[in-house]
A and B are shown apart, each in its own frame.
Chain A
């Protein structure tokens, strides 16, 4: 099992390097590695990855959500309308304070996803069908909410908390402080986990390997901060991704709820007979996903600056692709946060590079599909070759 994970990450690393090299060496892609583009890429990655991490929560127990792309559009649109065009909702209603609009939309999203989760688990309607319905309904609602218009996220080119989601950059000093704190946190938790494992006779990597691995990771983090500071600094969106990724990691690996997600996807019958309330767990997973969809919706809409009818298009497929590329099983029970981040990085890099090369939308769509098919094929091939891979840790 270990082997299949290693092979997968090796393959992903090579694929990522290949994609990056292609874009860099392409005559029109000189700007690919420029600080400005990498800054943009990091924001695009943040949106895709946040959404994919939410998707992971429902893929683990063997469910799926096809409605997140439409949800991104609808929720982003709703928040924008509440702030900028409140008449669209209720004639004569004054514009909402941005923070309140975001919070209300977030809570609404959690309620909607709770309902979908309940329909799926309590009433045993396949997740595929419920969320396919959601895809269409949310798309229609999105268009209705924004009256098929283009709604900015802030009134008249001003800044507000909504627009700042993707336009705020940490000051240089703050980015280094944050980097230092993160590095310290990672280092301490690694050492503690290692000590704990050894105390209970569990195998640990060799000290040198473990140190080197952590060290290289932290170097990469430092490099990233330095490069981003060459442009405007570390984007707030990337910090949001960091928080969501950390939270998802804790939830999936260190909580009972996370264990239950893996158990339900791995063997639902065994989960039930272990006294797990499967319905409640599934509903909670959908509620968490709903909150994440709202956050991704705000970020994606803010990144464009406007809510338009096309915001969120096909993002559900990017999210699913990122999960699958990262080794998440669509049958449930298998998948890791790190894998999903890797998968999202590949998807975001691909899309960013193609935009940079001014690839036509039709070709872009074909490329996305091809990558998805290749990823699933690799997943099946690796599973055959090395057995079912990738446990909860």
Chain B
């Protein structure tokens, strides 16, 4: 082959997490000076690949080889990768908000004077030099916390460049940016390419990908599917590669005729009270008894925010109404929501679901102690009985109800969280990624639980990033796209291509001149 020599060459890269393959025999090559996009659905393995390349997952935790400029590299840490000229910019920015731009850029690598103190003049002069060199308009003396997300992103990039990085790995750099910031960032990426910096660019936003990328590699289910030149291919091709899978029938959804509407949203717009940013706009849908409403969307589409809002745990409703069983519903706290029979299983069970140091029984009871307590005094016998029944129903594998919940496997922890929710006897169950990080067997058990709930006339809202799960378990599917409804589909109408197209419907972000955003 006579093409350019690859700068970075990845062969047969495999990485497993607790038996689940995140990457399998991935091959990937990066040519010097190109912008190479990685595309794929959530969970396709893009971020894992980035983490291997940047040393977050050290050599030894994966199989396969990574060759940089002809020599195999074995990074033991991110510092190793940085020395080799590879820097990753993750979605969560690693900047100190109270320090200035220049202080952040040279944090940990401060130039010294002969007396051993920090040479501040050099810190600021060098920062100015870097900003000029790469054409980035940020004030070197500004406090990072006062900058917008877009500018912070640029600071991260300059910080990486200050270490003389040759390869930049950008993980969804535009996910949180406004349109104008996206433009700036794309301009910078193109400018970096002209200066010989190689970029790996992860994004769900295919429009951006086709604008900046020279080549595109599609990952699916941890495998590298294809690498194409962006000039010779279309969006539809890429989407087809991203989705193209057989959906096997391990979703035991039992469908029944849906009952009456339990919850109805009309024109709901929600703002994040801290930043004032609009997170959801004009969302309308209804949720019926005995039905699973699936909610899909890309990262940052507002799925979790919608569930948390309906649970009284997030956001300020700026417009729209919600009714529950025909009565207006506006919970201000989770306690309000639970009093109306709405329950939530949160996405991150360790952070939001469990008190890890405590027992299975403690966690099961936490949200529904009122049922087994009289005047605040807990009836131990009633509590044991009820919790034991729940442990049996859910098939929680544990040494006993008083085992510490931290000692359980992920799947069993998730069952405890579900049990905690079910003990509240809710009418509407909001499930946020209920099968994330649990094994296939436990997943099927969770699905069967969903069947039981709908058979008992409960309404289930299922947020999922996994397309097969969404298609397999939902009776209807609503796709959110940048906080708006990108499309609604019945089970029969839904195809992976349609869902993905709907998920990207508003992916360019909000129009800048919308009324709410600027006024708050």
A196 in contact (CB, < 8 A): yes
B361 to chain A, nearest CB (A): 9
Determine if A355 is an interface residue (Cβ-Cβ < 8 Å). Answer: no
Per the bound structure, the CA–CA distance linking A199 and B383 in Å amounts to 13
Given contacts A201-B400, A256-B378, A392-B362, contact A270 B353 (CB under 8 A): yes
**Of A203, A255, A275, which one neighbours B376 at CB under 8 angstroms?**
A255
Q: Is the CB of A273 within 8 A of B313?
A: yes
With known contacts A254-B378, A256-B369, A274-B420, A202–B384 Cβ distance under 8 A: yes
B451-465 CB mask vs A (1 if < 8 Å, else 0) is 000000000000000
**Please, how many angstroms separate the alpha-carbon atoms of A316 and B465 in the complex?**
51
Closest to A264 in B: B355
Please name all residues of chain A whose beta carbon is closer than 8 Å to the beta carbon of B333 when the two chains form the complex: 272, 275, 277
Q: Report yes or no: B377 in contact with A255, Cβ–Cβ below 8 A.
A: yes
> B384, A273: Cβ atoms under 8 Å?
no
Which residues of chain B from 259 to 297 have a CB within 8 Å of any chain A CB? none
- In the complex, what residues of B have CB within 8 A of residue A196's CB? 380-381, 384
- As a 0/1 sequence over residues 316 to 355 of chain A, the CB contacts with chain B under 8 angstroms (1 = contact) are 0000000000000000011000000000000000000000
Find out whether the CB atom of A393 lies under 8 angstroms from the CB atom of B369: no
Q: Does B359 contact A (CB under 8 A)?
A: yes
Chain B hits for A270, CB < 8 A: 351-355, 366
Please report the C-alpha to C-alpha distance between residue A1 and residue B313 in the assembled complex, in whole angstroms.
Answer: 33
B95 close to A (CB within 8 Å): no
Residues of the A chain whose Cβ atoms lie less than 8 Å from the Cβ of B400: 201-203
Q: Which residue of A lies closest to B420 (CB)?
A: A274
* A273 lies within 8 A of B352 (CB): yes
A391:B358 contact, CB within 8 angstroms: yes
How many Å from the CB of A163 to the closest CB on chain B? 35
Bound form: Cα–Cα A72–B222 in Å: 64
B356 touches A266 (CB 8 A): yes
Q: Mark B21-58, 1 if CB is under 8 A from A, else 0.
A: 00000000000000000000000000000000000000
In the complex the two chains form, what is the Cα distance from A177 to B30 in whole Å? 86
Q: How far is the CA of A275 from the CA of B336 in the complex (A)?
A: 8
Residue in contact with B401 in the complex, picked from A199, A202, A262, CB distance below 8 Å:
A202
Q: How far is the CA of A277 from the CA of B333 in the complex (A)?
A: 9
A156 to B288 Cα, complex, angstroms? 78
Q: Is the CB of B355 within 8 A of A263?
A: yes
Which of A201, A257, A267, A277 has a CB less than 8 Å from the CB of B388? Answer: A201
Task: Indicate the member of B351, B357, B367, B401 with the most A CB atoms within 10 Å.
Answer: B357
- 0/1 interface trace, chain B 322-349, chain A, CB 8 Å (1 if under): 0000000000011101110000101000
A275 touches B358 (CB 8 A): no
Give Cα A202 to B354, complex, Å: 21
Which of these, A200, A267, A272, A277, contacts B354 with CB under 8 Å? A267
Contact B367 A275 (CB under 8 A): yes
Task: Tell me the nearest residue of chain A to B346, going by C-beta.
Answer: A273
**Across the interface, do A273 and B353 meet the contact criterion of CB distance under 8 Å?**
yes
| A391 engages B353 (CB within 8 Å) | no
- B248 close to A (CB within 8 Å): no
- Residue A159 interfacial (CB < 8 Å): no
Q: How many residues of B contact A (CB 8 A)?
A: 41
Interface string of A263-283 (1 = CB under 8 A from B): 100110111111111000000
- A119–B420 alpha-carbon span in the complex (Å): 31
Kindly list chain B residues whose C-beta atoms are within 8 Å of the C-beta of A277.
333, 335
Total interface residues in chain A, CB < 8 Å: 35
CB-contact partner of B355 in A254, A257, A266, A390, under 8 A: A266
In angstroms, Cα B355 to Cα A270, docked, is: 7
A193 beta carbon closer than 8 Å to chain B:
yes
Chain A residues within 8 Å of B339, by CB:
275
> Taking the nearest CB of chain A, how far is it from the CB of B69, in angstroms?
43
Q: Answer yes or no: A259 CB below 8 A from chain B CBs.
A: yes
Select which of B381, B385, B404 is within 8 A of A1 by beta carbon.
Answer: B404
User: Known: A255-B378, A257-B376, A393-B402. Contact between A272 and B313, CB under 8 A?
Assistant: yes
Q: Which residues of A contact B357 (CB under 8 A)?
A: 1, 266, 333-334, 388, 390-391
Return chain B residues, CB-CB under 8 Å to A259. Answer: 362, 365-366, 369, 378
B311 within 8 A of A: yes
User: Which residues of A in the span 222-266 have a Cβ within 8 Å of any Cβ on B?
Assistant: 250, 254-257, 259, 262-263, 266
Interfacial chain A residues near B388, Cβ < 8 Å = 200-201
In the complex, what's the smallest C-beta–C-beta distance from B363 to chain A, in angstroms?
8
B370 within 8 A of A: yes
CB closest residue in chain B, given A255: B376
Contacts of B378 in A (CB 8 A): 254-256, 259
A256 touches which one: B344, B358, B373 (CB < 8 A)? Answer: B373
Report how far A271 CA is from B334 CA in the complex, Å.
10
Which of B338, B385, B404 has its CB near the most chain A CB atoms (within 10 A)? B404
> Shortest Cβ distance from B223 into chain A, in angstroms?
36
CB-CB < 8 A to B355: which residues of A?
Answer: 262-263, 266-267, 270-271, 333
Q: For the complex, what is the distance from the CA of A201 to the CA of B420, rounded to whole Å?
A: 20
A199 CB contacts on chain B under 8 angstroms: 381, 384
Q: A203, A259, A393 — which one has the most chain B CB atoms within 10 A of its CB? A: A259
Q: How far, in whole Å, are A271 and B380 apart by their CA atoms in the complex?
A: 21
**3 tightest A-B contacts by CB?**
A266-B355, A274-B367, A200-B384
